[in-house]
Structure 1
């Protein structure tokens, strides 16, 4: 009896020891998990603090750079009145490029900017754009944008030369007519006409098109710049432009053009067949579509050589919408024209 009790006493402690060891293991595992969770939380808080600090630092750097660039561009605009007339084109082209880079900097910084700062930054860029646009219109000599309404009216003016009663007045009128011809680089206030200008008048000059309705315009040559405004249901063909093309207030038009820079303002429902060596810019514009430039004519290669444009570089589908802030979503204001909808020219 005594021996049997001893046997039982020896078995029970062994089973109990196994249970205790198992409980210890589970407890240690639980404590280890808690410790890992605490470490994970601590690491998360540390990362958040670093990110917050980095974000604050990025905002400080952005604000400093933003204010500096804003001041620099505003100074350029303010100093435009002191620029010689012959240098105005390059001055404004350079300023437009700087504003474009400024816009890209703002767009790239949206990821860490608070919504209020985003709006303030974009409003500032828009204001600089408008100020640059207005200053260009103010300072560009009007004589460069004196348009001829039609060849018929020009010939009528020449006929009128014979009317003055004396030779001196006649010579003065002839000079005025010839000066008018030299200054009449473009077309204005025409309706339902086919208008054409060739390289002998176009090359290295500024061209203007304004207030045209239902017209077809063909510009064969290499202008230094083209300014277009208030066109309705028109089709414009333009050879390579060494500088910029500025378009404003146009509706239901088709533009076939090649240039160093394209700027489109307050325009709607227009198609662009484009060769451009930098990002095209649209602002306050809707329902505009883009396709690659495919127009050709005799001596176009010569005109490209004169313009200095790189034929191998075409950013026709790289468009920057100054009114669209979201960098992760495509602007609804412009699109690529589907291939099946493109017209061959």
Structure 2
């Protein structure tokens, strides 16, 4: 699989008249090599790949030498002792590279300046999404990994939703989700769990905080696991204390959000752009009178990263193709009251969307 991915990348390099590509985005690095370490803090790096038309190097330091040799046996491991930029320069000279691509989406200005200083005589070309274009179509093994990640997340979320949440804080529930995922074998959460209750739920990506959940609160759970490197992402909105505690605003907003999600699920087809797919759900919400309160995209790709291509939003030109996995997550957010978001991961197939999960925790209001 790694050999096939490298071959596809090399074909792209040839098309763009590049002698090589420096791969610095961690998800791309893992995709092309199997090397799993994260970069840690901002500005740090556990390594980079240098892929040319006839070589593939994993450049890393002493901390990861054994890991690199075990996880990336198809690549030549090079241990640098005096910084990544200097080693890239040495290897570029050895390989005879004249035009080297850089990943614009994963290149700090400081790193670029060091490379420019070290790589005198090598033309550096910013590239955008070369490896992402390869990652966007998932093979059967990747789809299986995504399903496993999602199944684990759904199992943990179902347990939380089946319990009592009134009287518990958002942060308490978020921490419980994280602990349970790790106890059940996940590498960790794909992103910090969002548990947003009452008026806090009017913020789409609210941070879970000390607020204690009260009966009648709308509560958004937006959670994801990471398993075997692959992420999951799912959202459910519930009423604390049960549907009988819901006000009429919740019933109206929830029903409209669910109709928008179902409409998108039923109507999205290969060949649409991300903007056309987004418009299917957005029209439902706009016609219901809440268009201005649906302020984010309908969805995004999920894979080795929680947010990746394809983009499914009002300005997305991405062409949707079979084999893509993305979310459908319409939402409505009302300041001072709260919000509703419903999110599922789907696989686009020849005839339309197939849900990857099975958590049918929905109110029958649509």
* TM-score normalised by the chain length of structure 1: 0.23
* TM-score normalised by the chain length of structure 2: 0.22
Question: If you compute each CA radius of gyration, which structure gives the higher value, 1 or 2?
Answer: 1
More RCO (CA 8 Å, sep 6+):
2
